[in-house]
Structure 1
Amino acid sequence: RYRPPTFHVQAWYDEVRDFTYPHPHECNPYCPYRCSGPVCTHYTQVVWATSSRIGCAINLCHNMNIWGQIWPKAVYLVCNYSPK
C-alpha cells in the first residue's frame, strides 16, 4: 500500500528545518551535483509565493536506478506546481 501524495507533500514542507533564511542556497550548496546532505528545494516549491495548485502523478517503475542501486519496484512521485 502506498502513502498518499499529501504525505509526501507534507514531507517536502518539513524540509523547512533545513531552510536557512535569508540564504536558502546554503541549505545544501552541493545540490544538484551531490545531494547527500539536507535539501530544501522541495520546500521552496511548496511555499513559493505564487504556487496555489499542485498536480501529482505516481508510477511504479521496475528496475529503477536509485543513487547507484537498482530497485526492482520503485514508486516514483512527480508533482507540478502552478501559479494562481
Structure 2
Amino acid sequence: MVPATDMRMQYWSEELAASAQRHANTCDFRHSRNRINIGENIWAAPYANYSDAVSRWFNEVNNPRCACNNAYKHCCGHYIQVVWAQTNLIGCGYARCKDVLGVLGMGMRAVLVCHYNPKATRLEFSFLCSE
C-alpha cells in the first residue's frame, strides 16, 4: 500500500450533506445529475453499516483490473474518489427505501450517498505507481 502523502485535510460540509441527502431521498441508485465538480459514491444494502460501505468503496483497489497502468480503471472509481488527494470536503446522506431504482431485489434497503468536493477528475490514481 502506498503511504498517504500530499493529501488535504478532510472537512464535513453541510452543503454537500444536504445535496447527498436530497439524492438519497430519491431512492435512486443511479448517479445524480447536475453535480458540477462534485464527486459521488452511492451504496445500497439491506442493512445500514456505513463503515462497510466505505470499506467496499476502498477495497475496489484489490480488484486485479485496477492495477497501475491498467486501462480498466473505471472498475475502481469509488476507490479513486475516496483516496483522491485534492478532495477536502465531504458530506453524506442516508435513507431507508422500500424500493431502490437500479437495484434488483425486494425489501427495505439502506441507501448511503456521499458527495465530495472537488471530485476526482481523472480515471487514474491520484498517486504515482512505483516502478
Query: Structure 2 stretches of 5 or more lacking a match?
Result: 1-46, 119-131
Aligned to 1:7: 52
Larger Rg, first or second structure (1 or 2): 2
2:68 to 10, 21, 39: 21
| RMSD (Å), alpha carbons | 2.2
Letter in 2 for 1:44: I
Aligned to 1:33: none
Letter in 1 for 2:95: N
Aligned to 1:74: 109
Q: Deviations over 1:50-76 (max 9, x none)?
A: 112321111111123444x34221111
**Rounded Cα–Cα distance in structure 2 between residues aligned with 1:82 and 1:7:** 22
Query: Structure 1 stretches of 5 or more lacking a match?
Result: 29-38
Aligned to 1:31: none
Change (3 A) 1:12 1:71: same
**Rounded Cα–Cα distance in structure 2 between residues aligned with 1:59 and 1:75:** 6
**Secondary structure in 2 matching 1:64:** coil
Q: Deviations over 1:28-54 (max 9, x none)?
A: 5xxxxxxxxxx3110011111211232
Give the strand-richer structure, 1 or 2: 1
Report the TM-score when normalising by structure 2.
0.45
Q: Percent identity?
A: 30
**Rounded Cα–Cα distance in structure 2 between residues aligned with 1:49 and 1:21:** 17
Higher relative contact order (CA 8 A, sep 6+): 2
